[in-house]
Amino acid sequence: MQKVKKIPWLITVVIFAFLLVFTAFSSKKDFLHGEKNIFQKQEAIKKFGFYLDAVNQQAGIDFHHYSPQLDPKLKHIEPQIASMGASVSVVDFDQDGWDDLYFTNSRQGSQNALYRNLHNGKFENVAEQVGLADLNDSVTGVSMGAVWGDYDNDGYPDVLIYKWGKPELFHNDHGKRFVNVTDSSGLPQWVNANCAIWFDFNNDGLLDLFIGGYYSEKLNLFHTSTTRVMPESFRYANNGGRKYLLMNMGNGKFKDVTAQYELNSTRWVLGAAAVDVNGDGYPDLFIADDYNVNELYINDHGKRFIEVGRQAGIGNIPKSGMCVSLGDILDDGKIGIYNTTITENGILLQDNNYWYPESGSTSPYPHFVNMAKLAGIDNAGWSYGAQFGDLDNDGYQDLYVANGFISGKKNTSYWYDYSKITSGNKAIIEDARNWPDMKGKSQSGYEHDKVWLNRGDGTFEDISNMIMPDVTYDGRAVAMADLWNRGVLDVIVANQNNIPLILKNDLQLHRHWIEFDLKGTVSNADAAGAEVLLEWDGKKQIQVITDGCGFSSQNSHRLHFGLGNRTQVDQVIIKWPSGKTTTLVHPQIDKLHVIREPE
């Protein structure tokens, strides 16, 4: 029997009690700080100088997304499986100098919507008249997203609709109508895809396609003979869909070169972005995988892709990768990669990543460090899409993250059921029959989207409850665009099973800005992959033109830079995919510059 020394024991008890109290209160910070601070618009403008106003009605956007209806064998967890499909892409489809919006719908019989910008604050849905509305049925599948790219370099962006079904390619006939050219294009017959991007991986001046499969392409979720459709593991699933790398042959046809280029994994892809991370002039591919680690494919001079996720530091910890977006948050001319995941307090703490390129790496491959926690942009919720953009034109990129998984019955949660099944062995988890009936329960539902304001020192302030209406839709895709050509970035959010949010930025600070619209000539016409480095006020910010990034989204083709109160830009260096460079010295500010690649 060991004797206890009284004084040391008492000291131990005091420390122990302190630790118990500390830990108990550490998770109750909100309780200590009182109710969340919901601002009215005028208060927000006074404090931050801007407010994101929901203007759906004024803009004439009456779109509503509906989730797909699945095979009856999957009905008991239909909200879980059919939880995606709300997408938004920004495109100037008629090349009138005003950005338009395209939303996908996902229920059989529902219609997609193409909102043409009427230049007066309003939009008009022209999807039906141009042939982009009626694309959702059980035979060809339902839309999950759309990505625009001028694959034939005729000056008008064409569109790929990726589906849980047959991907469909539409050629843009001078902004008047869209012609379905799928059958002659060589696209795969069926892909259960939630991600696709256009990029020119071999820099031949023709946009190629990447499509990332989510559910296996062998499955038809509307008429399935098997219930073995779910991931085999929560952290190491390799039974997702295959990837497709489709090389543009220049004659309207695409060749499947996936195996040749070594993109052979079958993980559950939710997001991808093409960006040159090693500075060799070829776009590399960052892929966000659900139920597994992310992948980084280095482009070996257009000849093959080499997966280096682990060596690069981004592929070590399996998280639920949901999106990939690009931003230079420090104004140091380095592109970081933001990758959303899932956080549900007490159950799953993954935290979103901001992968910042590390300099001085001795490895032959680039290396990244996760700076999300340091920057304060780690904990969002069940996140999907995210985009960077300078919302207050102060010269620093802010961040918008869409949140919320399934908003079912209030005060219910499927998380217990979910944790039960996802801890099980492969044989149990992958069979949908074993998944408990959702019975209309919520799972990470009713979450508010996050708006993080860049303080300019590498850290962000969470202003979510102050800067926009207090709505808690299940956010999916986020895109940013200067919708009304005001020199201000607006935000568009596609919400699952709900209306989108058209958030018009009421910026009342008289700050400066500059925008660029690049036209490739030797490079692909979209100039996808072009980098624009803006130098001013001792800062340098880099942005990249992407044809698709985030989650099921596409930003405006124009690049927007806030300049703060500075009235002069030192210079702008444009690096075209062809390797050519354009330098602009002291370009005029508060203006959109349309720059054509030198031939």
Q: Which residues make up the interface to another protein (CB under 8 A)?
A: 1-9, 12-13, 15-16, 19-20, 22-24, 26-27, 29, 232-237, 316-318, 345-351, 373, 378, 413, 415-417, 419-426, 428-429, 431, 433-437
Q: How far is CA 599 from CA 237, 415, 522, in A?
A: 47, 57, 6
Name the residue nearer to another protein (CB basis): 1 or 585.
Answer: 1
Q: How far is the CB of 272 from another protein (least distance, A)?
A: 23
Name the residue nearer to another protein (CB basis): 206 or 429.
Answer: 429
Name the residue nearer to another protein (CB basis): 3 or 510.
Answer: 3
Q: What are the structure tokens assigned to 429, written together? A: 């988890």
Name the residue nearer to another protein (CB basis): 379 or 571.
Answer: 379
Q: How far is the CB of 16 from another protein (least distance, A)?
A: 5
Residues contacting residue 379 through CB under 8 Å, at least 6 positions apart: 343, 351, 352
Q: How far is the CB of 436 from another protein (least distance, A)?
A: 4
Q: How far is the CB of 31 from another protein (least distance, A)?
A: 11
The Cα–Cα gap between 576 and 572 comes to: 13
Q: Are 597 and 522 in contact (CB under 8 A)?
A: yes
Q: Are 480 and 489 in contact (CB under 8 A)?
A: yes
The Cα–Cα gap between 403 and 352 comes to: 12
Name the residue nearer to another protein (CB basis): 30 or 599.
Answer: 30
Name the residue nearer to another protein (CB basis): 264 or 316.
Answer: 316
Q: Are 414 and 422 in contact (CB under 8 A)?
A: no
How distant is the alpha carbon of residue 493 from its chain centre?
11
Please give the angle made by the CA atoms of 255, 260 and 261, to the nearest 5 degrees. Answer: 95
The Cα–Cα gap between 80 and 124 comes to: 33
**Of 235, 343, 209, 353, residue with least CA distance to 289:** 235
Q: How far is the CB of 383 from another protein (least distance, A)?
A: 14
Q: How far is the CB of 412 from another protein (least distance, A)?
A: 10
Residue type, 74: L
Name the residue nearer to another protein (CB basis): 57 or 345.
Answer: 345
Q: Are 252 and 182 in contact (CB under 8 A)?
A: no
Q: How far is the CB of 368 from another protein (least distance, A)?
A: 16
The Cα–Cα gap between 465 and 260 comes to: 49
Q: How far is the CB of 45 from another protein (least distance, A)?
A: 31
Distance between terminal CA atoms of the chain? 89
Q: How far is the CB of 271 from another protein (least distance, A)?
A: 21
Q: Are 406 and 390 in contact (CB under 8 A)?
A: no
Name the residue nearer to another protein (CB basis): 112 or 239.
Answer: 239
Q: Which residues pair with 383 in a beta bridge?
A: 403
Residue 40, Cβ neighbours under 10 Å: how many? 10
Q: How far is the CB of 122 from another protein (least distance, A)?
A: 44
Q: 3-class SS at 505? A: strand
In the numeric block, the tokens 């050509």 are attached to: 485
Name the residue nearer to another protein (CB basis): 24 or 585.
Answer: 24
Residue 433 DSSP class: G
Residue type, 278: N
Name the residue nearer to another protein (CB basis): 230 or 277.
Answer: 230
Name the residue nearer to another protein (CB basis): 222 or 460.
Answer: 460
Q: Are 132 and 170 in contact (CB under 8 A)?
A: yes
Q: How far is the CB of 216 from another protein (least distance, A)?
A: 15
